[in-house]
Amino acid sequence: MFNHNLETVPRLYKAARPGSDFEWSLDLLQKFKQMMPHIPTKSGLMLGLGETDEEVIEVMQRMREHDIDMLTLGQYLQPSRSHLPVQRFVHPDTFAWFAEEGTRMGFKNVASGPLVRSSYHADQQLHGGTDGFKP
Helix, strand and coil in the chain, % to nearest 5: 40, 15, 45
- For residue 4, CA distances in Å to 47, 68, 83, 101 come to 16, 10, 21, 21
For residue 122, is pLDDT > 80?
Answer: no
H-type helices in the chain, by residue range?
Answer: 13-16, 22-35, 53-65, 92-105, 122-126
Whole-structure pTM value: 0.88
CB atoms under 10 Å from CB of 48, counted, come to 20
Task: Flag whether pLDDT at 125 surpasses 70.
Answer: no
| Per-residue model confidence as pLDDT tens digits over 64-117 | 999 999 999 999 999 999 999 999 999 999 999 999 999 999 999 999 999 998
Phi, psi (rounded to 5 degrees) for 105: -70, -20
* Architecture (CATH level 2) of domain 2-133: Alpha-Beta Barrel (3.20)
* pLDDT tens track for 19-47: 999 999 999 999 999 999 999 999 999 99
Domain boundaries, given as residue ranges, for the chain? 2-133
Mean pLDDT of 3-14: 96
Please tell me the predicted confidence (pLDDT) of residue 16.
Answer: 92
Cα–Cα distance measured from residue 49 to residue 72, given in angstroms and rounded to the nearest whole number: 16
